[in-house]
Amino acid sequence: MSEKKNVLLRCEHLVKEYPVDRKRSVHAVSDISLELYEGECLALVGESGCGKSTLGRTLIRLHPSTSGKIFYKDTEITSMKPSEFAPYRRQMQMIFQDPYASLDPRMTVHDIIAEPLVTYKVCENKEALKKRVLELMDAVGVPGEFLYRYPHQFSGGQRQRIGIARAIALHPSLVICDEPVSALDVSVQSQVLNLLKDIQAEYGLTYLFISHDLSVVRFISDRVCVMFLGKVCEIGDSELIYREPLHPYTRFLINAIPVADPTLRDTEKPLLQGEIPSPMNPPAGCRFHTRCPYATERCQKEEPALRPVKGRMVACHHVGE
């Protein structure tokens, strides 16, 4: 893409740590700087516990950052007071992973979708509110006659559609999709993914799509950001990274994608070896070096910088040399 891209959200040297006791902390996000462009879908990928969800929630201030800066367009929002942040918070919504846990079982579909509209006083009266809720239900494919049903009366896919309707109710600019299809049956996943793509086009949304499923990510993302133990390993255009992954960890992740070809069923794939580091005590140097087959003494001592290589950013001493 040669045209100039407008930055919607960016962070600089963002850090998020969770204290365990007086001396120890979980290093969930460690010195991450990245940009999210208007209208794109940036996917955060990596294995469980690498900090994907924490980064997404910290970017929209659901979790307070430990240090670093967050900017919405050109305005720093890192330490705004709640009253100052409210107009920006309205522009940032979230679709949660578990559609069973993210909806209040005591509220009807009408009340769930109407809640953000009532909070921000969007509708003039009850009639306008009901009309808007029905419009949102129609947009996500939930029949209007289910308006006063409760969450337990819906399937997982329908619940996630209700969660999507709630997320887009305020016409946000950014939606954080935190593994939105991982709790759904495979047959339902494609329906929800297609819905997300349709809604993005219709509403002009920007997505930060968090997932560990690289086949899902390939379908929906414009760019991919690969994380390992709180650090960015590689970030770049989706097709470029899938076609030619450069970081060793990215290559392992892509090699692990199942291939629907029975003739390749017995083909041996390289497996990650070595010790899995603890986020409470991350290793010095490159955090991936304890599992990397190419690690050298330099990797153990010196942390690689994220630098441009072949049209993307990579943090590896041995790439591009």
Inform me whether the pLDDT recorded for 2 exceeds 60: no
Give the phi and the psi of residue 72 in degrees, each rounded to 5. Answer: -100, 110
Asked whether residue 277 is assigned to any structural domain, the reply reads: yes
Asked whether residue 240 is assigned to any structural domain, the reply reads: yes
Asked whether residue 35 is assigned to any structural domain, the reply reads: yes
- How many domains does the chain fold into? 1
Asked whether residue 141 is assigned to any structural domain, the reply reads: no
CA contacts within 13 A on the Cβ side of 5: 16
**pLDDT for 264:** 65
Q: Identify the DSSP state of 262.
A: G
Helix axes 126-140, 109-119, angle to 10 degrees: 120
- Name the token pair of 148: 């006063």
The SS3 of residue 117 is helix
**pLDDT for 77:** 97
What average pLDDT does the structure give for the chain? 92
247-258 pLDDT tens trace:
999 999 998 877
133-187 pLDDT tens trace:
999 999 999 999 999 999 999 999 999 999 999 999 999 999 999 999 998 998 8
Asked whether residue 117 is assigned to any structural domain, the reply reads: no
- 36: buried, middle or exposed (CB in 10 Å: 19+, 13-18, 0-12)? buried
User: CATH number for the domain including 79?
Assistant: 3.40.50.300
Inform me whether the pLDDT recorded for 28 exceeds 50: yes
**pLDDT for 22:** 87
- Name the token pair of 311: 């049209």
Asked whether residue 13 is assigned to any structural domain, the reply reads: yes
Q: Which domain holds residue 28?
A: 7-85+175-182+206-314
60-99 pLDDT tens trace:
999 999 999 999 999 999 999 999 999 999 999 999 999 8
Asked whether residue 94 is assigned to any structural domain, the reply reads: no
Asked whether residue 57 is assigned to any structural domain, the reply reads: yes
**pLDDT for 129:** 97
